[in-house]
Structure 1
Amino acid sequence: MTCLSATKSNSGFSAELPVSFAPEARTLPALLVQQAERHGDKRLIVVNEVARSFNDACKVAAQVAASLYDAGVRPGDAVTIICSNRIEFIDIYLGCAWLGAVAVPVNVASRGSQLEHILNNSVARLLVVEAQYLSAITGLGDKQLSFEKIWTIGKAETGAIFNVPCIEMPLGTEERAAHPSRPSDTVAILYTSGTTGLSKGVCCPHAQYYWWGINTATLLDIGETDILLTCLPLFHTNALNTFYQALLTGATLVVEPRFSASGFWKSLARHQATVTYLLGAMVPILLSKDASPDDQAHQTRITLAPGVPAQFHDAFTNRFGIEILDGYGSTETNFAIGSLLGEQRPGSMGRIRPGFQARVVDAMDNQVPDGQPGELVIRADEPFSMATGYFGMPEKTVEAWQNLWFHTGDRVVRDADGYFQFIDRMKDAIRRRGENISSFEVEQVLVGHPSVRNAAVFPVQSELAEDEVMAAIVLKEGVALQAAELLDFCQPRMPYFAVPRFVEFVEELPTTENGKVQKFKLRERGVTENTWDRDVAGYKVTR
């Protein structure tokens, strides 16, 4: 498998990189050792102004591994991490990998039954929790959990929680030799958002993140002189992948606490970042802000921003001087679909990457012709470059990997040139009056209105017990818009049957910590007293 550009880039990143990491060395401890020998005291990562060099990363990994071992953690054991973007998160993650344990990062917003399920399902021996999130644990009541010990990050009341000893995270100086992990061993279990059922723990092997780093760095053209900046949460695949990009290429990663539209450009400039990472919804948010001298007062050349509607690509690049790279990947897969900037087509995810195969299939897994929508299924050529299944959920693993292809749950179209276009999540498709409606396509029209900052489209049930189209709209600051005016904008731009019946203006959309809109919350809330109904208003849609 050749995942890198065939020609040497301006940054010095070249096609020779994969051969310098033998297949058996595609584990995090082996990568840390090899890159420490190569880059020494150069900065690898900076989180909240706390830096770790390549040498530091090795040393801290060995020290934390020793502390974990002293706490009773053994190779193969799980360690749950509930922590925001702090250097301690990286230290624990590296220590787990060094010891051969499994890191289980948890979304810091998890609460109640979802959190209880994750804690029970992962069967972790140790919980490492930032002090400000301890209340989420105590809020579960007197539950029977698997933890034998709890470490806190930051000052907190220590002693015992649910009769489990609780102490502040130890800072030992003893170092432990690295466990001889294999590329197939699980390095992390990441839990899905669980929007259609219980959250599933995705088992991610060492080699999967190696290939995440290679594939992403290739498409972003990252070299050792680059400075990467992310404000996305470390407990998700996107930011973890960014760490591997820096580790593999010799670049430096800067991690900010969170995304701030008002402070984003100053952050890029302050850290002299050359590459950054956004989610699709963040691009229109940044474009909605008033023009500022900060817009191009930075050195950033490219952003990985999957899912950005086509109409925003040129506007973003022209205003901010940053190219947008689209693509496709999920926690279970890898950066499996994507194209180099010169080969991109705005609105398309790109072509399948070397080392992966993709099909578009119908409900019976039969491949559909180009131009016809269906579910995207993916499999890999390289061993362990995708997830190995769902932890403790064998039936869900079999279901998702049916016929030995991973079923993404995404509806896409492949064109004759091999480019894939995202339509919507299978569960987000709306069927009205016998017609299939793509929520994503309706959203693209809505966010094209000059007064709209963000939009989410979802189905609600009508009096006829079928789907009706509802839109939750976030307006730009200081503007006013009537629902009828918005539908006037929609009518010439979409089929009549896709024009929303229900419109509700909201301050913000419910999102995960990673900025993903939680449509299940909107569906559960449905029509409210503040919702505008075009049928009640007497608004007519022209066929």
Structure 2
Amino acid sequence: MNTVAAGPTVPELVEAAAERYGDRPFLRVGRTARTYAETREAAAAMAGALAAQGCRPGDRVAALLGNRVELVDLFLGCAWLGAVAVPLNTALRGRSLEHALREARPRFLYAEPEPAGRAVEAGYPGTVWVAGETATPHPGEATGPPPHPGGATPLPPSPVRPQDTAAVLFTSGTTGPARGVRCPQAQFVWWGRTVSDALRLTSDDVLFTCLPLFHTNALNTLAQAMTVGACVVVGERFSASRFWRQAADAGATTVHLLGAMVPMLLAGPPGPDDRAHRVWRGLSPATPGPLWEPFRERFGVTLVDGFGSTETNLVIGSTPERHRPGYMGTVRPGFDARVVDGDLGPVPDGTPGELLVRSHRPFAFATGYLGDPEPAPDSWRRTGDRVVREPDGWFRFVDRIKDVIRRRGENISSYEVEAAVRTHPAVVTAAAFPVASELAEDEVMIAVVLRPGCEPDPADLARHCARELPAFAVPRYIETVAELPLTETGKVRKAVLRERGVTPGTWDRDRASGVRAAGSTGRESWRAAGP
């Protein structure tokens, strides 16, 4: 695999890729298509446009932009100038938007019209640039139209260092308030190197992502492509019904997914688009093991799993030729991982514990959260994930530590409950979470999304779970929902489910007659709708 010999900063990566790959296609987003050489020119010109608007190295520039070329330009232009891009979740509003803006303290905000108005309502006091317009929606300090590389005077790259912050990316906030992560220049370069190596990318590849560019998964496809000279196509928001047609139109050989998207794609009816594409591999962290082989059989795509986060890098992963369904993979070169107990002492292989990770690559990890001191570059980082390391070095995800359910003195993995529920033929996806028990611990509740044409039969699902799970993990409460509350990156907002809890429409196993005797050997099916 030929890769560019770039130093560990984004401008060096852009320049090295342009020198090596020149007129090769690099980016397609919306109606814009650019070569590598044109991308370098756009980054330098965007830096000039930002500087002309008063932006200086170290300034933070927030964005409330969808998957459009302006966000790519802003990220690369800020990195080139030495400013800091702060891509924000476009769904933020009210207090959550106030929180993000207060934490990030950006000097400038570049937004589409509607979220720009939301930011003003949230009290943002700085300069607002509105995409596609020349005016600001409030009497701020705007000096002109939004910065744009077209016609701007290009600047030489600023002398940024690998440890300098290139972007602040906010966590999903599924278990608490979202936190701004300081992502250094080198972290993006290492993301490009580690993921392109794990996926075995080459200059002949076309990467397709419809994940939001404010998330590290999608943003780092730019670095992955630059590392090997591939092309990246940025699509609009994920749609299970249109996904394979969009991938085919992109000419994609590689797709970027999240594990939650896999059951959604499998739930759709088979059709001619299932194999009418060139995709043969997909990066899909947290894919449920039982879905791995059905996905490959139906779509012809080999899934690659792994562990990485906004704060870290691809520390653990598999490859297209070396994988194990249901496992994250093994430790990648340049990183360490260990599993520890509550006192941070090591636990034996095969024992669940918290995952700690460490990097030997310079500034491949984030330099901390906004407002926190920088950790030592080679220090162990806590992940908050409960995992198991097998004796042969393969790691298996168990649960987020905060999502573990405590019932009858046992720790129950919500992830494993969800995996069992999803094996029922009528279930598209599910979320398991704790609700209050009369015994001062937790009860297990699941919210279930059914396949089209199926009617709820919670007693049947309870019997199914009794065959797949230990008795203490079988859900007591089952509720059918049209959809799960998700973040923009496809993670289930379990805090919403926990807060809602048991409703009048929730089925209670303890109150249903005959369910305690579940465990029949036949494979019942959820009732199909109709006569």
Change (3 A) 1:485 1:84: same
Distance of 1:44 and 1:146 partners within structure 2: 36
**2:77 aligned residue:** 95
Is 1:359 the counterpart of 2:325? The answer is: no
TM-score normalised to the size of structure 1?
A: 0.92
1:293 shift after superposition: 1.4
* 2:129–2:136 contact (8 Å) kept in structure 1: no
**2:395 aligned residue:** 420
Distance of 1:183 and 1:474 partners within structure 2: 45
Distance of 2:116 and 2:128 partners within structure 1: 10
**1:234 aligned residue:** 213
Alignment equivalent of 2:445, drawn from 438, 462, 470: 470
Is 1:54 the counterpart of 2:31? The answer is: no
Calculate the aligned-residue CA RMSD, in Å.
1.8
* 1:159–1:166 contact (8 Å) kept in structure 2: no
**2:527 aligned residue:** none
Alignment equivalent of 1:196, drawn from 175, 188, 206: 175
* 2:182–2:368 contact (8 Å) kept in structure 1: yes
For structure 1, which runs of at least 5 residues remain unmatched after alignment?
1-12
Is 1:251 the counterpart of 2:226? The answer is: no
Change (3 A) 1:461 1:66: same
Alignment equivalent of 1:77, drawn from 59, 67, 70: 59
* 1:131–1:152 contact (8 Å) kept in structure 2: yes
SS of alignment partner, residue 204 of structure 2: coil
For structure 2, which runs of at least 5 residues remain unmatched after alignment?
520-531
**2:142 aligned residue:** 165
Change (3 A) 1:541 1:179: farther
SS of alignment partner, residue 313 of structure 1: helix
**1:5 aligned residue:** none
Is 1:269 the counterpart of 2:248? The answer is: yes
TM-score normalised to the size of structure 2?
A: 0.94
* 2:181–2:368 contact (8 Å) kept in structure 1: yes
1:195 shift after superposition: 2.9
**2:319 aligned residue:** 340
Change (3 A) 1:386 1:403: closer
Alignment equivalent of 1:111, drawn from 93, 96, 108: 93
Alignment equivalent of 1:29, drawn from 11, 16, 38: 11
Alignment equivalent of 1:540, drawn from 498, 512, 516: 516
Matched residue type, 1:56 = E
Provide runs of 4+ in structure 1 moved above 6 Å. Answer: none
**1:122 aligned residue:** 104
Distance of 2:428 and 2:410 partners within structure 1: 28
**2:528 aligned residue:** none
**1:520 aligned residue:** 495
Distance of 2:253 and 2:136 partners within structure 1: 45
Alignment equivalent of 1:327, drawn from 306, 314, 318: 306
1:55 shift after superposition: 1.2
Is 1:210 the counterpart of 2:189? The answer is: yes
Distance of 2:273 and 2:173 partners within structure 1: 38
Distance of 1:384 and 1:111 partners within structure 2: 33
* 1:280–1:305 contact (8 Å) kept in structure 2: yes
Matched residue type, 1:328 = F
**1:153 aligned residue:** 131
* 1:300–1:322 contact (8 Å) kept in structure 2: yes
* 2:421–2:427 contact (8 Å) kept in structure 1: yes
Change (3 A) 1:424 1:527: same
Distance of 1:457 and 1:183 partners within structure 2: 41
Give 1:290-439 correspondences, 5 Å limit. Answer: 290-394=269-373, 404-439=379-414
Aligned residues: 516
SS of alignment partner, residue 331 of structure 2: coil
1:428 shift after superposition: 0.5
* 1:377–1:406 contact (8 Å) kept in structure 2: yes
* 1:510–1:521 contact (8 Å) kept in structure 2: yes
Change (3 A) 1:300 1:484: same
Alignment equivalent of 1:225, drawn from 204, 209, 216: 204
SS of alignment partner, residue 457 of structure 1: strand
* 1:305–1:326 contact (8 Å) kept in structure 2: yes
